[in-house]
Amino acid sequence: MSDFSFTIEHTDGASRAGVFTTPHGRVDTPAFMAVGTLATVKALDPDDLRAMGAQMILGNAYHLHLRPGDETIRDLGGLHAFMAWDGPVLTDSGGFQVFSLEGLRTVSEDGVEFRSHLDGSLRAFSPESVMRIERNLGADVIMQFDHVIPGQSDEPTARDASERSLRWLARCAAEVGRWEPGGSGAEQALFPIVQGGIHESLRRAAARSIRDSGDWIGYGIGGLSVGEAKPEMYRILGVVDSELPRDRPRYLMGVGFPEDLVEGVRRGVDLFDCVAPTRMGRNGAAFTRDGRLNIKRAEFRLDKRPLDEDCDCSACRRFARAYIRHLFMADEILGLRLLSLHNVHFLVRLMRDARTAIRDGTSDAWSRDWLARYQSRPVTSE
Ligand SMILES: [Zn+2]
């Protein structure tokens, strides 16, 4: 018996409301997963995440391998114990990070050589070594090591990377298959990643090849929101939705703008993650139902309203825009914390609302109304 299961409770069009069960608890889907790259969701305490209803969070294999070291985390009891988060955790493989180091890497069939962004030391990742890193970290869901390319890559480049990712998936699965059952405690689920850029035929081929190669617990959709136009991303999501098994969770990697979550749910996506809410929060940008606002603007100097009048996060329940603006202008760290908290809460709540609409059978109207309101006001930042 697997420690993992996925139950779809309601469908509405292509949208699904489900429950993904892991060894560390359940995740009600669709869900936004907050990103704790370095074993911390920046500026937030695990208690903050629990209070807002976040159920699953991320760590990053590349960053944690470099610092403090995956073996150190293993010796301290694994990622859950290390960061005092007893709920479900997913680790990204580091493929995105390694391939983002433009000019600092050599790709071969065996793997990738790159220089650490911390000290310039030469490092190597292979599918097998990344699996061992993710095993040491001990997350519930571990992502395969894949070859990530820029969003607008041409067909030959995308085909080469996608086919290499499929070969690397087989090596990841073989490495995981060699592990002794229960050797490091709880079971871990290896998710494959569908690549193929913006090329429909490559996406179909990758999805079919992965689907036919094993009985996967869930599926990652990678290589989107990396520079391609949004309509391209939505088109590819529709293609992948039609090719993946309906009874397994689909995780759209690194996509976390509110409009993209709503559009993704409309196309059968169950899980999302992104650094956007915390990164933007540290830069002074807040999500609201009427679009994004930049709290540093002078117009908020005397504004007594909360960031979003419909938001029930602990920042909006207590503080005015004018106060948070003051914190930013004075470089007070509470300002970064409050906007990070609000933005993550906003996305967690957004997916909870989407789930309710799917259960009520009103998700089409709900998502259209939501998008119309969100896009009705010009974006005032970034
Ligand atoms: Zn709020």
pLDDT tens sequence across 18-27: 999 999 999 9
* For range 340-349, the mean pLDDT: 98
| 310 carries an active-site annotation | no
* For range 192-206, the mean pLDDT: 97
| CA angle, 172 then 193 then 108, to 5° | 55
Give residue 151's pLDDT.
Answer: 83
pLDDT tier at 1 (50, 70, 90 boundaries)?
A: low
Give residue 100's pLDDT.
Answer: 83
Q: Could you tell me the distance, in angstroms and rounded to a whole number, from the CA of residue 278 to the centre of ligand 1? A: 13
| Catalytic residue (choose from 92, 140, 260, 308) | 92
Cα 87 to its chain centre, rounded Å, is 16
Q: Could you tell me the distance, in angstroms and rounded to a whole number, from the CA of residue 308 to the centre of ligand 1? A: 6
pLDDT of 132 over the 70 cut:
yes
* For range 234-241, the mean pLDDT: 97
Give residue 382's pLDDT.
Answer: 40
| Catalytic residue (choose from 48, 70, 140, 273) | 273
* For range 172-197, the mean pLDDT: 87
Q: Could you tell me the distance, in angstroms and rounded to a whole number, from the CA of residue 368 to the centre of ligand 1? A: 22
* For range 333-337, the mean pLDDT: 98
Give residue 328's pLDDT.
Answer: 98
pLDDT tier at 2 (50, 70, 90 boundaries)?
A: confident
| 331 carries an active-site annotation | no
* For range 257-269, the mean pLDDT: 98
pLDDT of 105 over the 90 cut:
no
pTM confidence score: 0.96
What proportion of the chain, given as a percentage, has pLDDT over 90?
A: 89
* For range 285-304, the mean pLDDT: 98
Q: Could you tell me the distance, in angstroms and rounded to a whole number, from the CA of residue 287 to the centre of ligand 1? A: 9
Q: Could you tell me the distance, in angstroms and rounded to a whole number, from the CA of residue 310 to the centre of ligand 1? A: 8
Q: Could you tell me the distance, in angstroms and rounded to a whole number, from the CA of residue 90 to the centre of ligand 1? A: 25
pLDDT tier at 181 (50, 70, 90 boundaries)?
A: low
Of 1-10, 165-174, 293-302, the least confident: 1-10
Phi, psi of 30 (to 5 degrees): -65, 150
CB 367 within 8 A of CB 357: yes
Q: Could you tell me the distance, in angstroms and rounded to a whole number, from the CA of residue 56 to the centre of ligand 1? A: 20
pLDDT tier at 381 (50, 70, 90 boundaries)?
A: very low
Give residue 227's pLDDT.
Answer: 86
pLDDT of 378 over the 70 cut:
no
Torsion sign across C-alpha atoms 348, 69, 148, 152? positive
Give residue 89's pLDDT.
Answer: 98
Across all residues in the chain, what is the average pLDDT?
95
Closest CA to 66 of 103, 104, 94: 94
* For range 193-204, the mean pLDDT: 97
More confident residue, 100 or 93: 93
Give residue 152's pLDDT.
Answer: 84
Give residue 88's pLDDT.
Answer: 98
